[in-house]
Amino acid sequence: MLKHLLTIAALVTGLVTISSCNNTPETTATTATAEDPVAYKATIDTWHQERLKNLQKEDGWLALAGLFWLEPGENTFGSAPDNDLVFPDGKIAARAGTFVLADNKVRVKLNDEAAVLLDGKPVKEAIVFESDTAEAPKLNHGPLTWFVIKRGDKYGVRLLDTESDIRKNFTGIDRYEVDPNYKVQAKLEPNTTGRTIAITNIVGQTSQEETPGALVFTINGKQHKLDALKEGDELFLIFADKTNGHETYGAGRYLYTDLPDANGNVTIDFNKAYNPPCAFVTYATCPLPPKQNFLQIPIPAGEKTFEANH
């Protein structure tokens, strides 16, 4: 998975050619309404601290310790190396049990020595995923928690470990100095044709996603646009720029905005651009920027490349 991730990051880097990072906008006609710079920086710092807290939660991305794709039929799991799904040594029974994938359902069967809980209660056998499952129940033993996910037509088991090295040793994420010039006003260019956009994830699966349209904005006197996705009461941007692979993560960054107002106005604050989970762990299924969201300028704002401390 790590080799695959690095390969994709390299491809993205090649598409967004590295350039100089002396890129403070000279004239940004669409910067957001002026505000006190000290107060503004404080709001970004507060947002960033909350972001770090979420990463470090017991169920946060830093605890992600495995992703195992299930094959049809029986899939054994436990700490013994000859299991189909090999969990961390010493943290669960050598042969904890079996996942059975059949008829678009996943059933778990636990061995007596496993002492596994399902949503906090002892379990020996249960269906843990079926076609209409909104949120899969969580299995737990000691520091380990695991549950079934579905990506396209693939079923997998996602494993969290509260004692993972990256979570224990995490000290933060480098970022650019907060720059109000990268808080810009945008206009939603509505999607009136019903088109969808192709989103490919890190494992190579592509899905067609609905888009409310593109956000159009100006930096350094030049117009740019980013196709947006809608998530609840926010817009979600998956974008790349010319800092990728140099100062920022090679496969792009993410950013949320509020929904447009009645006039289609949206504020994009690139100081809140952040690394996808794949920048920290190799077991996430991160969506990658669609080709039309490759900005041909550097965006020196938000989070920089993450380097783990061991």
Q: Reply yes or no on whether the pLDDT at 6 is more than 90.
A: no
Comparing CA positions, the residue from 78, 264, 133, 285 lying closest to residue 189 is 264
What's the mean per-residue pLDDT of the chain?
A: 88
- Assign a CATH topology to domain 61-168: Tumour Suppressor Smad4 (2.60.200)
Share of the chain above pLDDT 90, in %: 80
- Contacts (Cβ under 8 Å, ≥6 apart) of 191: 211, 212, 213, 214
Distances (CA, A) of 229 to 4, 214, 261, 285, 289: 25, 9, 16, 17, 11
pLDDT band at 132 (very low <50, low <70, confident <90, very high): confident
Q: Residue 5: its pLDDT value, please?
A: 40
Q: Which two tokens stand for residue 147?
A: 């549950």
Q: Residue 51: its pLDDT value, please?
A: 96
Q: Residue 153: its pLDDT value, please?
A: 87
Angle at the Cα of 290 from the Cα atoms of 287 and 295, rounded to 5 degrees = 120
Comparing CA positions, the residue from 189, 234, 237 lying closest to residue 214 is 189
Distance CA 254, CA 276 (A): 6
Residue that is written with structure tokens 């094959």 in the block: 71
Q: Residue 267: its pLDDT value, please?
A: 98
DSSP letter assigned to residue 137: P
Give me the sign of the Cα torsion angle 32, 35, 38, 39.
negative
Q: Residue 8: its pLDDT value, please?
A: 40
Averaged pLDDT, 163-184: 95
pLDDT band at 107 (very low <50, low <70, confident <90, very high): very high
85: left (phi over 0), alpha (psi -120 to 50) or beta: beta
Listed by start position, the domains of the chain span 2-56+173-293, 61-168
Q: Residue 34: its pLDDT value, please?
A: 60
Distance CA 92, CA 116 (A): 9
Q: Reply yes or no on whether the pLDDT at 10 is more than 80.
A: no
Q: pLDDT tens for residues 222-276? A: 999 999 999 999 999 999 999 999 999 999 999 999 999 999 999 999 999 999 9
Q: Residue 308: its pLDDT value, please?
A: 57
Q: Residue 58: its pLDDT value, please?
A: 93
Comparing CA positions, the residue from 256, 258, 267, 273 lying closest to residue 33 is 267
Share of the chain above pLDDT 70, in %: 88
Q: Reply yes or no on whether the pLDDT at 26 is more than 80.
A: no
Distance CA 305, CA 246 (A): 8
Comparing CA positions, the residue from 240, 267, 255 lying closest to residue 183 is 267
32 neighbors 184 (Cβ within 8 angstroms): yes
Averaged pLDDT, 103-124: 93
